[in-house]
């Protein structure tokens, strides 16, 4: 029996599927981007609660106790715990799941540690997308615990529906971490470890700072709460206050989420543009050459950026074709995979089913080789193999916009086998040109996944 698609398993809240989906997203793969696109229509129902604050504030214990309280109220809870990155494995160095074992057997709770991987702001780069996975899976609430943050690491406000800032007394200047940005993002302040000496002083200091802010009448004013997470003291009151905030700001929630969507879109576009520049505009090693020239004062950063932008926009006036891979028809890829590995040390990706075929990509450091294996006797490549045996099947040209490329090529008299783009491997979209238009060759156009 074939395994259900990953999207269906995520929607069914299969824990293994959730873990796999978040891993794909963390790796920033094309498959992860495609998965987000398919899950996105099922999101928007979960309420995202951000728990942030300086190191040592007891955020993990607070999240653990708050989860228990929310489960008693009947809510399902997803937890994303962001930790520093291990310099050895690249994974989460602390692994907050270790501290939340009380929920390990609870089907209504899913816990995932995420490594920052060098990303600043208190979160991992893909935390927002991981939250979308838990949202699509039907969790009522998603708790996002940031790594210990400083004064200006306030990315949580761009990810969560409510930001809970946690502080702890007895650390000298208790409000030092609350200056500037982090003071402004709090919807609720929590003085944790309130059984320690100095808790009242810390709370009073925060209250004093809040009185300096001019807020419009009727606007939510962040309360200052006291908790002792290790014993559960104050946790029920915290949960009740989160509910009050949610009710008080329900009319503004859409505006807040739209602002977050704008920030996220700008970030994704910026990253996608840089990937496009490095992959399709600059030649290999040219980016490093520009850095060397800037460091050597041969060119300034603005001049370098202007030159790259001019080339990037100029490429939009043409299909911008570059060689992506060469397709080879094979009856059984296993033997060739072993040969490429043994003889040349070339790695091969995991096989992927695309239509009537199974494909594997052999990495070469430049254009790749695609091994195309038929899954049935009536597949096109099966018929090709009957006539020619193992041989070159097609070449693939990558384009930035496949619809535009197809329109321009059609206007030049090129015939297509596919009248519209169709799904290809690695989340791409493809279309084949009729061999009669290119001297008997079979040519594939390919557009990388952009979602």
Could you give the percent of the chain with pLDDT greater than 70? 86
> What average pLDDT does range 96-101 have in this prediction?
55
CATH homologous superfamily for the domain 44-248: P-loop containing nucleotide triphosphate hydrolases (3.40.50.300)
The pLDDT of residue 412 is: 78
Q: Is the pLDDT of residue 344 over 80?
A: no
pLDDT digit string (tens) for 126-160? 888 999 999 999 999 999 998 765 544 567 778 89
> What average pLDDT does range 340-349 have in this prediction?
79
Name the nearest CA neighbour of 97 among 141, 67, 57: 67
Q: Helix-strand-coil percent breakdown of the chain, rounded to 5? A: 45, 20, 35
**Which region, left, alpha or beta, applies to residue 31 given φ > 0 means left and ψ of -120 to 50 means alpha?**
alpha
Q: Is the pLDDT of residue 329 over 80?
A: yes
The answer to which of 89-93, 146-150, 351-355 has the lowest mean pLDDT is: 89-93
Between the alpha carbon of residue 250 and those of residues 253, 256, 355, 406, the distances in Å are: 5, 10, 45, 46
98: pLDDT confidence band, cut at 50, 70 and 90?
low
- Tell me the pairing of strands 162-167 and 224-226: unpaired
95: pLDDT confidence band, cut at 50, 70 and 90?
very low
Between the alpha carbon of residue 117 and those of residues 36, 64, 131, the distances in Å are: 20, 24, 17
The more confidently predicted of residues 119 and 116 is 116
> What average pLDDT does range 396-408 have in this prediction?
88
Between the alpha carbon of residue 302 and those of residues 58, 190, 290, 294, 299, the distances in Å are: 44, 44, 11, 10, 8
Q: Is the pLDDT of residue 94 over 70?
A: no
* Domain positions in the chain: 44-248, 256-317, 322-447
Q: Is the pLDDT of residue 1 over 90?
A: no
* In contact, 358 and 333? CB cutoff 8 Å: yes
How far is the C-alpha of 140 from the C-alpha of 440, rounded, in Å? Answer: 57
* In contact, 67 and 99? CB cutoff 8 Å: no
44-248 shares its CATH topology with 322-447? no
> What average pLDDT does range 85-91 have in this prediction?
46
pLDDT digit string (tens) for 245-301? 999 999 989 988 998 888 888 888 888 888 888 887 888 888 999 999 999 999 899
> What average pLDDT does range 396-421 have in this prediction?
88
The pLDDT of residue 92 is: 45
Q: Is the pLDDT of residue 100 over 90?
A: no
The pLDDT of residue 178 is: 53
> What average pLDDT does range 50-65 have in this prediction?
88
DSSP string for 166-219: EE-SSSSSTTGGGSHHHHHH-SEEEE-STTSTTHHHHHHHHHHHHHTS---TTS
CA angle 224, 227, 232 (to 5 degrees): 150
* In contact, 123 and 116? CB cutoff 8 Å: yes
CATH number among 3.50.50.60, 3.10.180.10, 3.20.20.60, 3.40.190.10, domain 322-447: 3.10.180.10
375: pLDDT confidence band, cut at 50, 70 and 90?
very high
Q: Is the pLDDT of residue 423 over 60?
A: yes
The pLDDT of residue 418 is: 92
Q: What is the mean pLDDT of the chain?
A: 84
Max mean pLDDT range (59-63, 71-75, 366-370): 71-75
pLDDT digit string (tens) for 193-244? 999 988 998 888 888 888 877 777 778 899 999 999 999 999 999 999 999 9
84: pLDDT confidence band, cut at 50, 70 and 90?
low
> What average pLDDT does range 373-382 have in this prediction?
92
The pLDDT of residue 89 is: 45
The pLDDT of residue 449 is: 63
* pTM of the entire predicted model: 0.65
């Amino acid at each position: 029996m074939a395994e259900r698609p990953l999207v269906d398993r995520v929607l069914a809240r299969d824990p293994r599927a959730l873990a796999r989906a978040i891993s794909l997203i963390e790796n920033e793969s094309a498959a992860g981007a495609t998965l987000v696109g398919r899950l996105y229509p099922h999101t928007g129902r979960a309420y995202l609660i951000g728990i942030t604050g300086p190191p040592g504030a007891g955020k993990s214990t607070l999240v653990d106790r708050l989860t228990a309280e929310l489960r008693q109220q009947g809510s399902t809870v997803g937890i994303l715990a962001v930790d520093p990155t291990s310099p050895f494995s690249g994974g989460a160095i602390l692994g907050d799941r270790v501290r939340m074992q009380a929920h390990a057997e609870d089907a209504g709770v899913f816990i995932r540690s995420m490594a920052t991987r060098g990303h600043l702001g208190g979160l991992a780069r893909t935390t927002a997308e991981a939250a979308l996975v838990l949202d699509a899976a039907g969790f009522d609430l998603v708790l996002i615990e940031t790594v210990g943050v400083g004064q200006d690491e306030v990315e949580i406000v761009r990810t969560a529906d409510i930001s809970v800032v946690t502080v702890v007394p007895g650390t000298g200047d208790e409000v030092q971490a609350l200056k500037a940005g982090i003071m402004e993002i709090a919807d609720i302040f929590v003085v944790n470890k309130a059984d320690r000496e100095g808790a009242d002083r810390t709370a009073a200091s925060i209250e004093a700072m809040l009185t300096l802010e001019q807020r419009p009448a009727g606007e939510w004013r962040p309360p200052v709460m006291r908790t002792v997470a290790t014993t559960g003291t104050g946790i029920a009151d915290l949960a009740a206050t989160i509910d009050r905030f949610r009710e008080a700001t329900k009319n503004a929630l859409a505006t807040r989420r739209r602002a977050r969507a704008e920030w996220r879109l700008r970030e994704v576009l910026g990253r996608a543009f840089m990937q496009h520049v490095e992959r399709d505009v600059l030649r290999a090693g040219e980016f490093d050459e520009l850095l060397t020239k800037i460091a050597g004062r041969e060119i300034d950063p603005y001049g370098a950026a202007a030159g790259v932008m001019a080339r990037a926009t100029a490429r939009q006036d043409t299909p911008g074709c570059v060689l992506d891979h060469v397709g080879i028809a094979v009856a059984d890829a296993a033997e060739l995979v072993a040969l490429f590995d043994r003889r040349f040390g070339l790695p091969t990706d995991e096989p992927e089913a695309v239509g009537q075929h199974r494909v594997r990509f052999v990495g070469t450091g430049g254009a790749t080789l695609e091994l195309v294996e038929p899954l049935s006797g009536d597949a096109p490549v099966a018929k090709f193999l009957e006539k020619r045996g193992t041989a070159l099947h097609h070449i693939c040209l990558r384009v930035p916009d496949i619809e535009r490329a197809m329109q321009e090529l059609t206007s030049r008299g090129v015939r297509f086998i596919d009248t519209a783009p169709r799904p290809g491997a690695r989340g791409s979209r493809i279309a084949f040109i009729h061999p009669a238009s290119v001297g008997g060759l079979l040519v594939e156009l390919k557009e990388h996944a952009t979602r």
